[in-house]
Structure 1
Amino acid sequence: MALQFEIIAVTPFRQNCTLLWDDESGDAVLTDVGGDVPHLLAEIERRGVNLRGIWLTHGHLDHAGGVVELLKHCDVPVIGPHRDDEFLLQSLPEVTAGYGFPVSPAFEPTRWLEEGEVLEVGAYRFDVLHIPGHTPGQVVFYCAEADLLIAGDVLFYETIGRTDFPRGNHEDLITNIRSKLLVLPPQTRVIAGHGRMTTIGHEREFNPFLQ
């Protein structure tokens, strides 16, 4: 038995929503429910898993814009991001409308996250790391047992997250990646917020922003 995952690209921005589940218990979570909710519901049903929660890395529309719609179908807690992204979740109605997305109401998660907290999917534990820079409240989820990092828009294949959004900070992002992510084992697989997967070892060696 093992921790399983399926990456599901959602919204016109092709954001990587991840369905994580524990084979043995069938318990599952969705990370970064940006949209395309009918497709996500169909995948949950196809896998035969029990959705236990929604985890958010940060408050941008392509990561959080589908949450309220999903909650109409699934009564589960919304966990994260850090409270410093509250302004983004409150601005969702205007921002989603401005981008031509289905309008998302503002919402507050069931629980904000702090550095050092631990979340669980079945028997698997994920450490919460606060990585401000792309947004001030960005968090990531790291499972040491499965060598897996859900990175949101912090770290991508040979690049890093944008820092030109409101309250972004390039220096903070670089400092946090170096001190909290590059110290993880090199074999750690990274599910980025967009695009292909990578590993910590690959980014240490080849990411031009981190040399």
Structure 2
Amino acid sequence: MKFEILPVTRFMQNCTLLGCEESGKAAVVDPGGDVEQILARAEAGCLKIEKILLTHGHIDHAGGAGELARRLEVPIEGPQIEDEFWIDSLPAQSEMFGFPPVRAFVPDRWLEQGDRVSFGKVVLNVYHCPGHTPGHVIFFHPESHLALVGDVLFKGSIGRTDFPRGDYDALIHSIRKRLFPLGDEVRFIPGHGPMSTFGEERQSNPFVGEKI
């Protein structure tokens, strides 16, 4: 599996284009906006997008999902259903944060702990990791030791929990009990900022490191 990180919107959210090297099929994770940019990169890489995956329902992660799904006639999978209220509020979120008008949508599939999602011949494992939002999920590709963690964990930091239904204790539990056990060698793509590894964060992250 190959990947390309595409920072989108003025929040510089890490939308990720995942590609199956064998089939040329692709999935887009968290298309928060800038749909034309996403489509151009897929075309440049000779990738056919067949699915949209969402970690959670915040505008900078999900704002472009509905438009992209309509234009390509592809399904949206994720997040977990506890984020339904965030998806329903996308129009209000877009107005609040000065985004182009966005319509709410219903994902074709809500995801749960233990589910799997696929595109081409690539299979990703789904982990429910609440805290930043109640329905936040992450995607893990064991073969390449790569995780896409949305706003759960960052290089040197963790996700905010001061939004509606955020839960600090749940977030810490998600990181320590669901992310870190995947392995120190696992690289992760956060929702914003540079990549890191779970091992590096387990050792040195000031919020969830071993010395805390």
Q: Establish whether TM, by shorter chain, passes 0.5.
A: yes
Partners of 1:76 and 1:60 in 2: how far apart?
20
Give secondary structure in 1 for the equivalent of 2:144. coil
Give secondary structure in 1 for the equivalent of 2:60. helix
Asked if 1:6 corresponds to 2:4, the answer is yes
Partners of 1:52 and 1:70 in 2: how far apart?
11
Partners of 2:28 and 2:193 in 1: how far apart?
18
Tell me what 1:87 maps to: 85
Aligned CA-pair RMSD: 0.8
Aligned equivalent of 1:186, options 156, 175, 184: 184
Partners of 2:165 and 2:107 in 1: how far apart?
20
The TM-score, its normalising length taken from structure 2, stands at: 0.97
AA at the equivalent of 2:73: D
Give secondary structure in 1 for the equivalent of 2:39. helix
Q: What is the CA distance between 1:123 and its match in structure 2? A: 2.4
Give secondary structure in 1 for the equivalent of 2:127. strand
AA at the equivalent of 1:197: M
Asked if 1:148 corresponds to 2:146, the answer is yes
Partners of 2:93 and 2:121 in 1: how far apart?
37
AA at the equivalent of 1:173: L
Aligned residues: 209
Aligned equivalent of 1:34, options 32, 35, 47: 32
Over residues 40-89 of structure 1, what are the superposed CA-to-partner deviations in whole Å (9 max), with x where a residue is unaligned? 11111111111110000000000000112212320101000000000000
The TM-score, its normalising length taken from structure 1, stands at: 0.97
Matches within 5 A, 1:1-211: 3-210=1-208, 211=212
Partners of 1:122 and 1:68 in 2: how far apart?
22
Partners of 1:107 and 1:124 in 2: how far apart?
26
Identity of aligned residues (%): 50
Give secondary structure in 1 for the equivalent of 2:109. coil
Give secondary structure in 2 for the equivalent of 1:129. strand
Q: What is the CA distance between 1:15 and its match in structure 2? A: 0.3
Partners of 2:157 and 2:119 in 1: how far apart?
29
Stretches of structure 2 that go unaligned for 5 or more consecutive residues are none
Range 112-121 or range 3-12, more displaced = 112-121
Q: What is the CA distance between 1:122 and its match in structure 2? A: 2.4
**Hey, which bits of structure 1, 4+ residues long, moved more than 3 A?**
none
Q: What is the CA distance between 1:187 and its match in structure 2? A: 1.0
AA at the equivalent of 1:207: N
8 Å contact from structure 2 (residues 132, 168) kept in 1:
yes
Partners of 1:76 and 1:19 in 2: how far apart?
15
Q: What is the CA distance between 1:24 and its match in structure 2? A: 1.0
8 Å contact from structure 2 (residues 128, 135) kept in 1:
yes
Give secondary structure in 2 for the equivalent of 1:5. strand
8 Å contact from structure 1 (residues 124, 145) kept in 2:
no
Partners of 2:121 and 2:104 in 1: how far apart?
32
Stretches of structure 1 that go unaligned for 5 or more consecutive residues are none
Over residues 24-44 of structure 1, what are the superposed CA-to-partner deviations in whole Å (9 max), with x where a residue is unaligned? 111100000100001111111
Give secondary structure in 2 for the equivalent of 1:72. helix
Q: What is the CA distance between 1:169 and its match in structure 2? A: 0.3
Partners of 1:97 and 1:117 in 2: how far apart?
33
